[in-house]
Structure 1
């Protein structure tokens, strides 16, 4: 059924405030604000694949699917990761648990060495790494690539960068054109004993295991075993 143009406002001014969608004003037309809300929700449902989304790895780009287990939305594991990501104004399409056996062996061995040297086991942090979905797939398949170090800067060392806040990693979680999907890796990282880094560092100093930005916001490690 055709709808006449004067049924709709010609312009709607929308803003987000405290996480809530608010219609500030509308120019011309006969719809109430409630009716505009309903139309916006309907449009979202019809075209939700066009909105900007965050994707924890796109199925079609993965070469090592045997290492992935998709987490069910609403499960304890899913909600725990989603809460840590704290992504706003975007949708999480899916979350995977990544379990690569030989990674786990290397990681456990390296952590035991660092724990023994430092004298305690509180040497790892849960950190975030934002990237494109294709880069995430490559990392899972081949680990972090030393040849790509420095693409986004080396301010705190020539290594692999992780953030303690997902909001920082979201700035680096970019899309693979023409897709509008993004990826964030949530990683256990052995930071061990960490010191402030600088752009001259190509490895951590003796008796340290990582470098940082002078606080707990950004960490740099120099080995895939961490």
Structure 2
């Protein structure tokens, strides 16, 4: 994110026991079903009011489509922090928020804007080799929230 971020204000570890238990159950299921670990560490940028909601209530597919649905109507994550930065906005202090998230990719297929859910036999959709879209709220666990300028 060269030129976009000049100062990290804080990094907070997120701890939501209910959310973690649900995520762990999905992770175990994915590993048993697929015979491999498909967890990735990805980024999710958002405004700070959305960040507070995510911390309290998990990722919520009911908000899918607010920033487009190019690869499906799910929750979007990227391996490219600069890409996720484009979905942040500054608060009154000029700060932005980005999550570092554990995401269960499972079996992925290229997505498109007409997909309301993942196709049968797949767990997520992808786009541009760095974008991952999940369709189950417990398929992602926000581990850290980075606040930066």
Compute the TM-score of the two structures, normalised by the length of structure 2: 0.87
What's 2:44 paired with?
A: 129
1:42-191 equivalences under 5 Å are 89-120=5-36, 122-176=37-91, 178-191=92-105
For structure 1, list consecutive stretches of 5 or more residues without a partner in the other structure. 1-84
Q: Deviations over 1:170-226 (max 9, x none)?
A: 1111123x33111000000001111000011111111111000052x1000011110
Distance 1:106 1:94 in 2: 27
Q: Is the 8 A contact 2:43 2:98 kept in 1?
A: yes
1:213 aligns with 2:127: yes
> Which is greater in Rg?
1
Number of residue pairs aligned between Structure 1 and Structure 2: 139
- The structure with the greater share of residues assigned to helix is 1
Q: Deviations over 1:139-184 (max 9, x none)?
A: 11122233321011001000000011101111111123x3311100
- The structure with the greater share of residues assigned to strand is 2
For structure 2, list consecutive stretches of 5 or more residues without a partner in the other structure. 140-149
Please point out which of 115, 118, 122 is paired with 1:204: 118
Cα RMSD (Å) of the superposition?
1.6
Compute the TM-score of the two structures, normalised by the length of structure 1: 0.58
SS of the equivalent of 2:29 reads helix
